[in-house]
Structure 1
């Protein structure tokens, strides 16, 4: 980790984070004391305080269930969203890279990419100016080893698990559609396009992600369930873990 990154991240350790739970309720988290208080405030209050205070957030969730929440949280708190899924997919675009091809094969098979590759991608992106007010990790860490390395680098204070049944998760994931040129997303059931399999704005075709198959999702779920419980215990023992019902809007 470059020195300038460590200096920047050390400055973030002392921020007070507000974690958005629903449209009406937030939990104010004083990071120095780890106290939690339920409060109700207006959206304008949220926007002003989040812009000034920032937040450091890690989401630990089932695959396919956290993209919407992480996007909303990062916009709300004016922090950078580092999605390891997006970073890995970008890495696969380089056809001349053997590392990119290894990542592609692992993703299409529903497996997980080696820790050192994921950590390297995150390291490169944490130096971006948009991360100076805080950061949200989407899809990382997945294992205790990753959690320990992240703890050593960041000493992050707030971890959240979005709880959702496997059957609902499968409905959410397998129905996803994407307009590749713009990255606009739709869902067959929960956010359908106006015309089947066509982008609302351009009328161009929509596609499913190559790893959104029943076989790949089942493999990802099996891997998640094996690894998530010890990782959740890891953070729970440090009193920095919260569970959120992800079945609600």
Structure 2
């Protein structure tokens, strides 16, 4: 299915709501759409020993959080590398040139994002706060923010039934994808485990933090006029509604 313009998308939802599943389904349905994980971008820069990566690695090793300015430069460098920032158009924020791979020095200027459909992406892991969203808007304004909503009681039941084969990463759920032999991986027969984050107490705390931070972020995108809410009791119920919202905005109708 072909897109008529660039889609710049973020999915917002509680831990366990199925953001990863919906991302995979969107990517499969719309070939022009790509996924950008800020975590992967960060790890790639650390591995390649770029100046930004070295700076971020030092912060991480000291137990801190990578600052917004560094994250924005990582994102802008990634978009520029992919050719998704229009370097032929006037730049914003300052008169300084767009920085190369080092990402350090003066506050950079940013070229506007390309509107070519091939420059379509889902951004995973950023922004998480209204402040981050505001600064991201200066580089690459998100034009669809989707709030994925499933009742918390349903998510809690889903999380409680989730078991993992750690060596392979295969995931099972006693409610809808149970292993053939209870407590054991279908392929190897090895024991399954529950991740620490999936324990009820740990998840409840993660959920509380999400509720605190998500409301201001949702409000930011609502004011921008790009927020939609998609609700369902399961991923299969949410997916067709999500496709419909996406297609209304970005699909080229014949």
Shorter-chain TM range is 0.5 to 0.7
**Counterpart check, 1:57 vs 2:57:** no
Q: Deviations over 1:168-218 (max 9, x none)?
A: 121223332333343332222222222223222333333333322222212
Aligned residue in 1 for 2:26: 73
**2:121 corresponds to 1:169:** no
Query: Is residue 2:222 matched to residue 1:236?
Result: yes
Secondary structure (helix, strand or coil) at the match of 2:220 reads helix
* TM-score normalised by L of structure 1: 0.61
Given that residues 56 and 135 in structure 1 are in contact (C-alpha distance below 8 angstroms), is that contact kept between their aligned partners in structure 2?
yes
TM-superposed deviation, 1:157: 0.6
Work out the CA distance in 2 between the residues paired with 1:209 and 1:243: 29
SS of residue in 1 equivalent to 2:198? coil
1:205–1:63 distance in 2 versus 1, CA, 3 Å: same
Report the Cα offset of residue 59 of structure 1.
0.5
Write the distance in 1 (CA, Å) between the matches of 2:9 and 2:202.
27
Aligned to 1:219: 205
Instruction: Indicate conservation of the 8 Å contact 2:160/2:200, yes or no.
Output: yes
Contact 2:59–2:66 (CA under 8 A) maintained in structure 1: no
Which blocks of at least 5 consecutive residues in structure 1 are unaligned?
A: 1-47, 92-96, 107-112
**C-alpha contact 1:67 1:138 (8 A) present in aligned 2:** no
Contact 1:83/1:139, CA 8 A, preserved across alignment = yes
What CA distance in whole angstroms lies between the structure 1 residues aligned with 2:43 and 2:191?
20
Of 200, 203, 227 in structure 1, the residue corresponding to residue 186 of structure 2 is 200
Q: CA–CA distance in 2 between the matches of 1:145 and 1:226? A: 14
- Matches of 1:90 and 1:178 in 2, distance apart? 26
Which residues in structure 2 correspond to 1:148-163 (within 5 Å)? 148-163=134-149
Cα distance, 1:88–1:174 mapped onto 2, change above 3 Å: farther
Is 1:82 matched with 2:36?
yes
CA distance in 2, matches of 1:180, 1:220: 22
Aligned in 2, Cα 1:123/1:54: closer, same or farther, shift over 3 Å? closer
Give the Å deviation of 1:75: 2.5
Higher alpha-carbon Rg: 2
Task: State how far apart, in whole Å, the 1-side matches of 2:185 and 2:25 are.
Answer: 22
Equivalents in 2 of 1:90, 1:84: separation in Å? Answer: 10
